[in-house]
């Protein structure tokens, strides 16, 4: 999921260089959502992963 977030961030950067600002805002929005979903899933996996190992 982090890979997808980075892909959309690169798309946004390339589109920004070429002046496609509508695509930039969409790609940045998608990248932000994917990044926060990744962070939430990462924290949840850390919490539940520690409980199983004890």
- The pLDDT value given to residue 42: 92
Quick one: tokens of 6? 């980075």
| Owning domain of residue 33 | 2-53
3-state secondary structure the chain: CHHHHHHHHHHHHHHHHHCCHHHHHHHHHHHHHHHHHHHHHHHHHHHHHHHHHC
- The pLDDT value given to residue 3: 87
At 17-54, the pLDDT tens digits run 998 888 899 989 998 999 999 999 999 998 888 765 55
Tally of domains within the chain = 1
pTM: 0.71
């Amino acid at each position: 999921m982090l890979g997808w977030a980075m892909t959309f961030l690169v798309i946004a950067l390339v589109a920004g260089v070429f002046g496609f600002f509508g695509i930039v805002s969409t790609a940045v929005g998608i990248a932000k959502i994917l990044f926060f979903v990744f962070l939430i899933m990462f924290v949840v996996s850390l919490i539940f992963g520690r409980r199983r190992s004890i």
